[in-house]
Amino acid sequence: MTDVNYSIRIDKELRDAAFSVLENYGLSPSQAFRLFLKQVAGTGTVPLTFDYAKSSIAYEKNPVTMQAIADAKAGIMTHFDSPEALLIAVKEDMDSEVL
C-alpha cells in the first residue's frame, strides 16, 4: 500500500470541536478520516444524511449496515473484552486493507 499525504484547511473552532468528539471515541483524526473514506469506497455512498427534515436515517440503503444487522440476527458477532481491544482490531483491519 502506498501512503499519500492530503491536507485540508478547516476552521480552528470546527477542528477543535470535531477533534474533541473523535477523542471521546478514542479515534485520531487520521483514523476517523480513513474510516469515513473506507465507508465511502466500500458502499459507493456518503455515510451522511443531508436531509435534515427527516427524523431517521435510511440505513436500509446501506449494504454494510444491513449486512451487520443480518450478522447480528444470525449470532455472528465478535466480542471484545474492552474498548481498547476493539480499537486494536479496527486498527489492524485498517492497516491490512487498501483504500
Is residue 24 within 8 A of residue 87, CB to CB? The reply is: no
Please report, in tens digits, the pLDDT of each residue of the chain (99 residues total).
788 888 999 999 999 999 999 999 899 999 999 999 999 999 998 888 776 655 555 666 778 888 888 898 999 988 889 999 999 988 888 887 654
Of 48, 87, 40, the residue nearest 64 (C-alpha): 40
Evaluate whether residue 2 is within a structural domain: no
Evaluate whether residue 5 is within a structural domain: no
Q: Classify 27 as helix, strand or coil.
A: coil
pTM for the full predicted model? 0.48
Evaluate whether residue 88 is within a structural domain: yes
Structurally, the chain folds into a number of domains equal to: 1
Evaluate whether residue 4 is within a structural domain: no
Q: Domain containing 71: what range? A: 12-96
Of 63, 82, 80, the residue nearest 71 (C-alpha): 63
Residue 28 to residue 20: CA distance in whole angstroms: 10
Evaluate whether residue 92 is within a structural domain: yes
